[in-house]
Amino acid sequence: MLIQVRSKGFFHLLSANLLLKVFGFASQIFVAWILTPEDIGRIKVLQSFMAIFVVTAGFGFNISTLKLCSENRTPGEKYYLFKKAISYTITPLFITYILISGLAYWNILSVDREINRLMIFFALGIFPLTINSLFFSFLQALKKIKNFAAIQIFTKIIGIAGIIILTYFLLIKGYVIAVVLGYTITFVFLFIYNKRKIRVESVKVLNPFKKHFKYAIYSVLANFTGILLLNSDILILNYLAKDREVFGYYSFAVLFIGLMRIMTHTVQQISFPYFSTKSQNFTKWYKTYKKYNRIMWLFSISILSGSLILIPLFMKFAFSGKYESSIIFFIILCIGWFFRSNVVIQSGALFGLGKININFFITLPILIISFITIYIFASTYGIIGAAYGVAITGVFSLIITRLSFYFVLRSEKQDF
């Protein structure tokens, strides 16, 4: 199994992601050393809003591109569908930026006026970031994992260097500028790669918008609810947290949870195209699901064990006690991460079958539970309550996803 996974490009993408996370994590640690806990909290809120608005800006066409171009089509048809996806994205992209600017200008995004002020410029990053997502989906669909990884490494290292330098001299303003520039640099290199390496004549496909929209509409709904779910604690605390310094400690703990998500994201990235190509054969599709599900459990258990030992020690000693208050938040959040990390393979398997609408209907009740649980616990117990809410939601997420998946599994098995 290890050899098969390697041949599919898993270790190329994994090594790329690990390298990027190491450099990215190092830059965030450097940023945390320079900035105050309050600014770390502001950065996390900015990142959370960016993740949400990128989904609305892309409107699911990155996912429809991945799905359609992973299917058995000619290279020319795949390239045609990719170019159409770019054209379809332009309208929601501009609408999203106008919406963000308006909400920030009227101080609606946050009770912290500094966040609203920074968001107007930070949101410019949705333009290159949204198009980058389409490029990467296209490369994933073509299974050009090595190219995907190489571009990631080269451009992200440049961006990370920019973050360190500009944050050192301009503090949080420099961080915001560097992030937007980093997204833009990635876009430039992807554009050049597309022009030089993807030399394919487009072959027209009938009803391209209908084909894209079939998957895009439920993709944007599923991804929107998914992103809200991942960031629900930050979004709620953005409005409820009165002590912005403690909120900064919480956000610092979330930074390490993001580092742990690398395995989840990598396995998910690799699995998507292979579920799609095997979607016409239930036996092969189910074998693929079982394989990647075993990989996910193995990784998540290993990461959880190592993280609970090493990361609290790092927090305690690396900053001479500056972020020691983040340890308790991290330990609790780890529990939520563990349960959530073991549901993404089910989502990927359903994606491969084209059941993107099912993912939305699974995520929606979990999102509602998340917001209610985190809000109640945060209102009652403060910021520590939000961490407990995340852990409880993680358990509900695993239960609901597993039950829904096996219900769909029985139904699909009868159809084949």
Amino acid type, 208: P
The Cα 152–Cα 316 span in angstroms is 32
Q: How confident is the model at residue 162 (pLDDT cuts 50, 70, 90)?
A: very high
% of the chain residues with pLDDT over 90:
55
Confidence band for 408, pLDDT divided at 50, 70 and 90: confident
What's the pLDDT at 19?
Answer: 64
| Mean pLDDT value across residues 311-328 | 90
- Structure tokens given for 238: 């953005």
* CB-based burial label for 135 (10 Å; 0-12, 13-18, 19+): buried
In sequence order, the 6+-apart residues with CB closer than 8 A to the CB of 131 are 86, 89, 187, 190
CA gap 385, 190 in Å, rounded: 42
Kindly state the DSSP code that residue 60 receives in the 8-state scheme: T
Angle 271-311-2 from CA coordinates, rounded to 5°: 30
Q: How confident is the model at residue 2 (pLDDT cuts 50, 70, 90)?
A: very low
**In this model, does residue 372 exceed pLDDT 70?**
yes
- Read off the pLDDT band of 174 (50, 70, 90): very high
Q: Is 66 within 8 Å of 140 (Cβ atoms)?
A: yes
| pLDDT value, residue 5 | 42
Between 162-166, 220-224, 254-258, 310-314, the lowest mean confidence (pLDDT) is in 220-224
pLDDT-based confidence at 235, cuts 50/70/90?
very high
Q: Residue 192 burial (CB < 10 Å; 0-12/13-18/19+)?
A: exposed
Evaluate whether 180 touches 125 at the Cβ level (below 8 Å).
yes
Say if residues 232 and 378 touch (Cβ distance below 8 Å): no
Residue 321 has pLDDT above 70, yes or no: yes
pLDDT of residue 9: 47
What pLDDT digit, counting tens, does each position of 269-299 carry? 667 667 767 777 777 888 888 888 888 888 8
Take residue 5 and report the two structure tokens written for it.
Answer: 């996974």
Confidence of residue 14 (pLDDT cuts 50, 70, 90): low
Read off the pLDDT of each residue in 196-208 and give the average, rounded to a whole number. 84
Mention every residue, 6+ apart, whose C-beta is less than 8 A from residue 216.
59, 60, 61, 63, 64, 88
What is the overall mean pLDDT for the chain? 87
Phi, psi of 36 (to 5 degrees): -85, 160
Give the C-alpha separation, 255 to 326, whole Å: 10
306 touches 334 (CB < 8 A): no
Quick count: other Cβ atoms within 10 Å of Cβ 153? 16
What contacts 281, CB < 8 A, 6 or more positions away?
416
pLDDT value for 38: 96
Q: For residue 4, name the pLDDT band (cuts at 50, 70, 90).
A: very low
Please answer whether residues 285 and 408 qualify as being in contact, where contact means their C-beta atoms are separated by less than 8 angstroms.
no
Residue with more model confidence, 140 or 165 = 165
Q: Which letter does DSSP use for residue 123 in this model? A: G
User: How much is the pLDDT for 81?
Assistant: 94
What six digits make up the tokens of 210?
């209908």
Among all chains, which residue has been given the structure tokens 């994205």?
89
**Closest residue by Cα to residue 92 from 83, 100, 81:** 100
- In sequence order, which residues have a C-beta less than 8 Å from that of residue 286 and are 6 or more positions away? 409
What φ, ψ does residue 143 adopt, rounded to 5°?
Answer: 60, 35
Find the range with the poorest average confidence among 21-25, 201-205, 279-283: 21-25
Contact 228, 367 (CB under 8 A): yes
CB 396 within 8 A of CB 366: yes
Can you tell me the distance from the alpha carbon of 52 to that of 352, in angstroms, rounded to the nearest whole number?
Answer: 23
Give pLDDT tens digits for 323-360: 999 999 999 999 999 999 888 888 878 877 777 678 78
